[in-house]
Structure 1
Amino acid sequence: MKEIPFHYDQVGSFLRPEPLKKARAEFQNQTISAAELKKVEDQTIIDLITKQVNAGLRAVTDGEFRRSWWHLDFLWGLNGVEVTTPEHGYQFNKVETRAASYNVADKITYNAEHPFFEAFTFLKEHTPAGIIPKVTIPSPTLLFNRKSDSFSYESYSNEEVFISDLAAAYQQTIRKFYDLGCRYLQLDDTSWGMYTGFIENAKSDDEIKHWHRQCDAGVSVINQLLAGLPDDLTITMHVCRGNYKSDWAIAGPYDHVADYLAQLNIDGYFLEYDDNRSGGFEPLAKIYQQGPSKKVVLGLVTSKFPELESKESLIARITEATTYVPLENLCLSPQCGFA
């Protein structure tokens, strides 16, 4: 069993400090240059690395401080994906995000000049010896979620070809991260969290079948991109249900997607379990049965309110989870990032 993910770990995004928020606003208002913004980003990331190391974390991230979105900045960096501005943002339980999205306008291919490579190089150069720099990128499933079976990208007429191209672009990207020194990469995936709610609230059998077809496609693209990657590269997945201004997007138990998650050829799962929206621990048994060397990181510490969970309550929840997964396969983290 791989050591990573660690028994105490993290998802990786952090709240932007005030100097960074101020600099970004000034850059948008064209009162400072891109070089001046980068200088602030660099220093706040160096400060964050120190904070993570001092907290005892064995893997650190750059907090995603160079991004405007946790997912879109990466997706926009792939060849074939363009920026769009829809009429509305993403609807959460009570709030709506600012409006931004993407369109697949051409064949998706690997971008050797993706800005995330430079960002990782900076992180690695400033990570102390003995600590692991961790990369977090959005899952490819985000590029083919849709509420009907119609495949509408003008640049593709066949979904299998689209998935194949997408998986290839991701694999080349991950291999580049590996060549730069990455040994720990996390796919952030809201799709599985969304599927739990969509299946839970489906109004017809046809709707349920549609979402199960989406799940099959998700397994296909992820396992394709993982095929043949180096053995000493750890790949984990964070299954998210939305986290925006302390609000959530969807609720539903993992029972609906556990069979699919168990099929993914990844090393570990970061799963939200900070409240009853996630259901019980029973689905974890399927993941363990199909992959007894895989780890499950229990997201028991919430990022949605400031009060700390008691040590006793965390121990009780972890003990409950050992009914389905051995203790040595379990880890602990916040349920999401903090940004």
Structure 2
Amino acid sequence: MTELAHFDIVGSFLRPEELKQARDKFSHGDISQAELTQIENQEVEKLIHTEEDLGLKAVTDGEFRRSWWHLDFLWGLNGVAKYDYQESYKFHGAKTRTDNAELAGKVSYNPEHPFFKAFEFVKEHTNVTPKQTIPSPTLLFRDNRSDNWSNFYENKQDYLDDLAKAYHKTSKQFYDLGCRYLQIDDTTWAFLISKLNETENNPKEHEKYVQLAKDSVYVINKTLENLPDDLTVATHICRGNFKSTFLFSGGYEPIAKYLGQLNYDRFFLEYDNDRSGDLEPIKKIWNNRNNVTIVLGLITSKNGQLEDPNTIIQRVNEAAELVPLTNLALSTQCGFASTEEGNILTEADQWKKIKLVVDTANKIWK
């Protein structure tokens, strides 16, 4: 397992104006793919230097080559197609575009997935650990994306196995390209917090979401099975992030036992406000697999107001009563731009937040 710092990033960053303009020109046919790629390369390289200058030990490309944190990756798998969902995702206070993904055949690994080239660029241009972020396979069991699995599979188990195999091969290819830190971002668990709470008094409906949780554990662990020991695999349990709004609320208690069964090395948990619940569930996750690191997302990426370092230190100390301090780390609660629109803060605000994470962590873990 790769040794990592006690400060970290979730991965996405606000898109610079030049990149936004280039993407807009490309969408209108005013510049070529090669010209867009050149601008992406230039902006990713600048971003990596900024991340390194701030002292980060693991850096990403900011997801600058993506429009969505999840869909661009899913569309790159064999057997997954783009379609118009014709509905906005149910964010509180903002409407998204209506793009989505659906099964269009048997799902499988794509050796030509564009994310491989994107990772190679980061690796080539950084002096620290290049970190790759991808969405969880669980996202293909939700939002009507795989309701049509029976068109391509005789039973659901075969579908889940194919999905796990596609993700396992993809993870191994990242490793073969030099990746030693992979992060799998997941909104399914926050969705399940809401649904398990809502259906508590409806056993039949409740069982449906219990089964989704079990299927999620199965597919994730099958994905992670027999990956190389020196590959650190993290997960970010996200409550949704679009233009500083959110999808889901609630503490981790309803899902803690399932999270504790997942064979991840590092758990990014959002703890930036009252919607996140108390810290108690981190103990359950750590107890099940006490070599994991819990990364506390105590600093919000949704606005530019800087948190008080003393309050953050106090919260980390509270967490250290449940999980050893050596098994804790600090980050923002989410990335700054899960979609290309980005959250409602400035680039200067964004970098102040990252500096706060690094400086505060350095005070805690001297």
Q: Smaller-chain TM-score range?
A: over 0.9
> 1:271 and 2:269 equivalent?
yes
- In structure 2, how many angstroms separate the alpha carbons of the residues matched to 1:226 and 1:265? 7
Equivalence for 1:262: 260
> Within 5 A, what are the aligned runs for 1:292-307?
292-307=290-305
Secondary structure at 1:84 match in 2: strand
> Within 5 A, what are the aligned runs for 1:42-61?
42-61=41-60
> 1:92 and 2:82 equivalent?
no
Q: Please, what is the CA RMSD of the aligned residues?
A: 1.4
1:224 to 222, 226, 231: 222
Give how far 1:151 is off.
Answer: 6.6
Secondary structure at 2:182 match in 1: strand
**Contact 2:149/2:159 (<8 A) preserved:** no
Secondary structure at 1:156 match in 2: coil
**Structure 1 stretches of 5 or more lacking a match?**
none
Secondary structure at 2:260 match in 1: helix
Equivalence for 2:103: 104
**Contact 1:11/1:334 (<8 A) preserved:** yes
- In structure 2, how many angstroms separate the alpha carbons of the residues matched to 1:78 and 1:96? 27
Report the AA paired with residue 17 of structure 1.
P
**Contact 1:151/1:159 (<8 A) preserved:** no
Equivalence for 1:283: 281
Q: TM-score scaled by structure 1?
A: 0.96
Q: TM-score scaled by structure 2?
A: 0.89
Report the AA paired with residue 58 of structure 1.
K
Give how far 1:153 is off.
Answer: 4.5
**Structure 2 stretches of 5 or more lacking a match?**
338-366
Structure 1 outlier segments of 4+, above 3 Å: 149-153
Equivalence for 1:135: 132
> Structure 1 vs Structure 2: percent identity of aligned residues?
50
- In structure 2, how many angstroms separate the alpha carbons of the residues matched to 1:36 and 1:97? 27
1:171 to 159, 164, 168: 168
Say if 1:262 and 1:223 are closer, same or farther in 2 by CA, change over 3 A: same
Secondary structure at 2:311 match in 1: helix
* Alpha-carbon displacement from aligned partner over 1:200-229 (angstroms, at most 9, x marks no partner): 222622222211110000000000011110
- In structure 2, how many angstroms separate the alpha carbons of the residues matched to 1:43 and 1:170? 29
Give how far 1:150 is off.
Answer: 7.1
- In structure 1, how many angstroms separate the alpha carbons of the residues matched to 2:51 and 2:185? 20
**Contact 2:150/2:156 (<8 A) preserved:** no
> Within 5 A, what are the aligned runs for 1:297-336?
297-336=295-334
Give how far 1:325 is off.
Answer: 0.6
Give how far 1:323 is off.
Answer: 1.9
Say if 1:221 and 1:185 are closer, same or farther in 2 by CA, change over 3 A: same
Give how far 1:3 is off.
Answer: 2.4
**Contact 2:149/2:156 (<8 A) preserved:** no
Report the AA paired with residue 263 of structure 1.
Q
Equivalence for 1:195: 192
